[in-house]
Structure 1
Amino acid sequence: MRYFLLIVALLFSKSFNAQTDQEVFKRLYKTALTNGKSYEWLDYLSNQIGGRLSGSVNAELAVAWGKQELEALGLDKVWLQPVMVPKWIRGAKEYAYIKSTTGKTTNVNICALGGSVATNPLGVEAEVVEVHSFEELTELGEDKIKGKIVFYNRPMQPDLIQTFEAYGGCVNQRYQGAVEAAKYGAVGVIVRSMTLRLDDLPHTGSMTYNNLPNEKRIPSAAISTNDAELLSSMLKLDERLKFYFKQNCQQLPDVKSYNVIGEITGSEFPNEYIIVGAHLDSWDLGDGSHDDGAGIVQSMEVLRLFKENDMAPKRSIRVVMFMNEENGLRGATEYAKVAKQKGENHIFSLESDAGGFTPRGFSFECNDTIFSTIESWKSLFKPYLIHYFERGGSGADVGPLKTKKNVVAGLRPDSQRYFDHHHAANDTFEHVNKRELELGAATMAALVYLFDQYGIAPNSYENH
């Protein structure tokens, strides 16, 4: 009986290997869409654990959950990789209002930016200077800024189809805004939220003080786009109005956390590594479903799809749940450092960190020769409406793994609605579509399958 089962297994393996790439794709997509687990995982991560800011209790619950779920998949290896992460606490809900020269107040929606200091216990009230760039700030100078609150009101550029490009065009005012304003004696910073939508939701995100001494650090908050429009309009009518805000955040000492890693060991080239990953941490206003719970469960699903379809990879495939992408990138840095110390050859690294929307394709960082090979795979994805194969940025967490000889890539879903939710209180489970999420997972698994089958040798696909 034992020999009979062995023969059956060998015949099945031979039959599977004889399948065409198109047939493998069909199996992966069918399994993800009819028997997927990504949506169920996301439901638990979002609704039972919730927002997972680095250093928080929820982040540690997510680590334990991730390890448990990977072990349940029956992977060859599952482990935790220690990493020290920052611990920033938002504290009690922020409060703000606009105060006219007649004394009338209008409440507005704000949230502290991640890493900001608190206001003093009574809050900050001062006149407002509206600017749209750091150049404007310099032109105004200390005479017109000292003792005031700087209001950065540069919106995301709406005519850019690539919304990440629009985000990149204005995010420096959020990240560096406090440092620049402090140079001229500002007492606080208010930043227009990074979203194309007009709504009442402030969007948080990381900011920095660089090496600014503690006594010169000023509080920094995001204001909703509706309230940014209101403040700007009111300033045109009354330039002497004042803005008041109070926030209670606190930066505590670093704490230990973990990257969560699982591996299916390769049968032919176990020392060549392919990774799929996303960041396990999230901001605290919502439950982090799109950013980046979707990427986490899609990455987990890639390995589950291999297991479910009895696909024994040639190369070692890892899923990596990175900790602390949002406010430090400590997990990615640590993973890359350890990989380098061990001399691990990461031939391909794929990240999902652009939301759980309909997948459109991938962006790749690699040399011309390898990209030529990758482009030859594009026709396999066309039946699934995956047409976007472009050179470009991959992702923050896989970026540290880039070398001149390997490939790093990012899943590129439709991005038009992503910044409606990014870093805001509405980044929640009900805004993720089950089918779109599952299509993304299958698309990632299909690309991983091709890199596993053919590696990154020049023209490997054509010569197969």
Structure 2
Amino acid sequence: MKKLLLAFCLFATGARAQSTDSVTIRKIYNEILTNSPSYEWLRQLTQQIGPRLSGSAGAQKAVEWSKQLMEKEGFDRVFLQEVMVPHWVRGAKEVAYIQNGKQKITVPIAALGGSVATSPKGVEAQVIEVKSFQELRDLGAEKVKGKIVFFNRPMDPTKLNTFEAYGGAVEQRANGATEAGKLGAVGAIVRSMTTALDDNPHTGSMRYATGVPLIPTASISTNGAELLSKSLKTNANLTFYFKQSCESLPDAKSYNVVGEIKGSEKPDEIIVVGGHLDSWDIGQGAHDDGSGCVQSIDVLRTLKALGIKPKRTLRAVMFMNEENGLRGGVGYADYAKKNNEKHIAAVESDNGGFTPRGFGIVGTAEQRAKVMPWKPLLTPYGLSEIGAGSGGADIGPLAQLGTVLFGFKPDSQRYFDFHHTGIDRFEGVNKRELELGAASMAALVYLLDQHGL
């Protein structure tokens, strides 16, 4: 009888907690969908400041803007955490064309971040098209030396999760110049990372291996890649010309920007919610990752506006240098370790401001099991995809401290239309989708704060 009574009491307590949580989550959504300033914040960040590549004047303006914003919102503490970041500059706009006999056809390209420049006259050479590094190696130096290597493996359109498709193709961008340089190529051109066929080249970071010749590398738009591939089939001796003026400058001082609301019961337990403040230089960084930044700040604003006093300390972190170095994420984890801080959970939004679908979780099976009872509270808001997955690049280094990571998962189908392009602008973000994302993150942070892990 006593066991039955205890079971009933536990059930009743759990039911009351679920009811309270359900009511509070509804209040969170109502607050954000009626009063959120996140869309206006995004407009300011993207249109008044614009591109924010690490080390740039735009990045510094974004640091100052986000610090002032969180101070204005009345967070308990706002501070800057210094990090040294790479400083790569694009220089003059790139030029490229296919020379097919007497026909010269201009195509859109964008230098990849970290690439060296061409000579002032540019580079012109015959082209070797490959779909994989193994195919390139099989050709050998004899066939590759003095040529431009054209990496033309598309993202797999059969992958329903476009991030899986991206993961299957992005090594060409990251390591293509190194693999081509090993065999004596004079340049590398990489098909843009998107399933769309358009004229928007996608930039992104690349890296050189030690001891390998540094050759210039750029992305070519998918329409340009299709044209180049088709032209090579009719004339294998055509040439490709490109010119770019990029360079790497000495590392620059920058900052992560941190806003904090102190916990009322367990202030030593910290929950982070964040996005990365830097963006590539050819667009406005609206989806990548202005959206994640304003959503994260709005999480703290919303709980404060509703009079919810968190049990644990909540931090909104604007990470610097995700795009071409991850110095902010690594630096923040080092800061937490140095100060013996206990981060129980971290949530990152870096997949665009699209319709929410759920959260990926990086943690033990036991930790994930503690989250699953919350699914009935979140599913009515479209958050059905909750389970093992990825967290986020910036919060990734916190995993070594035992932090459970949560990656916000919006619908992925349109993200790579915008990712790292000149069209990643404010106009491409839908206000309601942005706000629904902020509400989803706020609901999760509320549950993490109330129940812990």
Tell me if both proteins adopt one fold, taking TM over 0.5 as the criterion: yes
- Tell me what 1:51 maps to: 51
What's the CA shift for 1:405?
4.2
Q: How does 1:361-400 map to 2 (within 5 A)?
A: 361-400=358-397
Could you tell me which of 299, 304, 309 is aligned with 1:307?
Answer: 304
Of stretches 395-404 and 424-433 in structure 1, the one that deviates more from structure 2 is: 395-404
Could you tell me which residue of structure 2 aligns to residue 99 of structure 1? Answer: 99
Residue 80 (structure 2) pairs with residue 80 (structure 1): yes
- The answer to whether the Cα contact below 8 Å between 2:361 and 2:389 also exists between their aligned partners in 1 is yes
User: SS in structure 2 opposite 1:376?
Assistant: helix
Unaligned runs of 5+ in 2: 1-16
CA displacement 1:225-276 (0-9 Å, x = unmatched)? 0010000000000000000000000100001000000100000000000000
Aligned length: 438
Q: What is the match of residue 267 of structure 2? A: 270
Q: Which residue of 2 aligns with 1:293?
A: 290
Instruction: Note the C-alpha offset of 1:386.
Output: 1.2
C-alpha contact (below 8 Å) 1:46/1:287 kept by paired residues: yes
Q: Give the C-alpha shift of residue 404 in structure 1.
A: 7.4
Match of 1:407 among 404, 415, 426: 404
C-alpha separation in 1, matches of 2:254 and 2:348: 21
Q: Give the aligned residue type for 1:194.
A: M
Residue 137 of structure 1: aligned partner? 136
Please provide the CA RMSD for this pair: 1.2
Percent identical residues: 59
Q: Quick one: distance in 2 between partners of 1:103 and 1:112?
A: 26
Once the two structures are TM-superposed, the CA of residue 60 in structure 1 deviates from its matched residue by: 0.2
* Unaligned segments of structure 1, at least 5 residues: 1-16, 457-464
* d(CA) in 2 for partners of 1:285, 1:405: 37
CA distance in 1, matches of 2:343, 2:18: 27
Over 3 Å counting, the alpha-carbon distance change for 1:259 and 1:404 in structure 2 is closer
Deviations 1:165-201 (A, max 9, x none): 0000000000000000000000000000000100000
Contact 2:277 2:319 in 1 (8 A): yes
Question: 1:343 — aligned with what?
Answer: 340
Report the Cα distance in structure 1 between the residues aligned to 2:345 and 2:431, rounded to whole angstroms: 27
User: 2:7 — aligned with what?
Assistant: none
The normalised TM-score by structure 1 is: 0.93
Distance 1:425 1:61 in 2: 20
Distance in 1, matches of 2:401 and 2:36, equals 36
Deviation track 1:372-400 (CA, whole Å, cap 9, x = no partner) reads: 11111000012112100020111100000
In structure 2, how many angstroms separate the alpha carbons of the residues matched to 1:437 and 1:18? 26
| Rounded Cα–Cα distance in structure 1 between residues aligned with 2:335 and 2:22 | 37
Q: What CA distance in whole angstroms lies between the structure 1 residues aligned with 2:18 and 2:153?
A: 56
Paired residue for 2:326? 329
Deviation track 1:137-160 (CA, whole Å, cap 9, x = no partner) reads 110000100000000000000000
Is the contact made by 1:367 and 1:405 (CA closer than 8 Å) also made in structure 2? no
Shift in CA distance, 18/105, structure 1 to aligned 2, threshold 3 Å: closer
8 A Cα contact 1:192 1:228, kept in partner: yes
SS at match of 1:427: coil
Q: Which amino acid aligns with 2:131?
A: H
Q: Secondary structure at the match of 1:170?
A: coil
Give the whole-Å Cα distance in 2 for the aligned partners of 1:167 and 1:125: 29
Check conservation: 1:132, 1:153, Cα contact below 8 A: yes
User: How far apart, CA to CA, are the structure 2 residues paired with 1:19 and 1:354?
Assistant: 31
Residues 337 and 401 of structure 2 are in contact (CA less than 8 Å); yes or no, is this contact kept in structure 1? no
SS at match of 2:237: coil
TM-score by length of 2: 0.95
CA distance, structure 1, for counterparts of residue 78 and residue 371 of structure 2: 30
The reply on whether 1:248 has 2:241 as its aligned counterpart is no
* Change in CA separation of 1:302 and 1:115 when aligned onto 2, cut-off 3 Å: same
In structure 2, the residue matched to 1:31 is 31
Per-residue deviation, 1:50: 0.4
Offset at 1:418? 0.2
Q: Which stretch shifts more, 283-292 or 382-391?
A: 382-391
1:417 aligned onto 2:414: yes
Corresponding position of 1:152: 151
Once the 2 structures are TM-superposed, how far is the Cα of residue 37 of structure 1 from its aligned partner?
Answer: 1.1
SS of the counterpart of 1:306? helix
The answer on whether the counterparts of 1:86 and 1:255 sit within 8 Å (CA) in structure 2 is yes
Once the 2 structures are TM-superposed, how far is the Cα of residue 103 of structure 1 from its aligned partner?
2.6
Q: What is residue 195 of structure 2 aligned with on the other side?
A: 196
Contact 1:367 1:404 in 2 (8 A): no
Q: Secondary structure at the match of 1:20?
A: helix
Distance in 2 (CA, whole Å) between partners of 1:61 and 1:210 is 33
Query: Cα–Cα, structure 1 residues 313 and 143, in superposed 2: closer, same or farther, change >3 Å?
Result: same
Q: Does the 8 A contact of 1:54 with 1:324 survive in 2? A: yes
What is the deviation of 1:210? 2.6
SS of 2:307's partner is: coil
Query: C-alpha deviations, 1:48-75, integer Å up to 9, x for none?
Result: 0001000000000000000000001111
Q: Which runs of 4+ in 1 moved over 6 A?
A: none
Partners of 1:108 and 1:325 in 2: CA distance: 29
Q: How many angstroms does 1:406 deviate by? A: 3.2
Residues 366 and 404 in structure 1, CA contact (< 8 A), matched pair in contact too? no
Preserved CA contact (<8 Å) 1:33 1:435: yes
Residue 403 (structure 1) shift: 3.9
- Counting only pairs closer than 5 Å after superposition, residues 104-143 of structure 1 correspond to structure 2 as 104-143=103-142
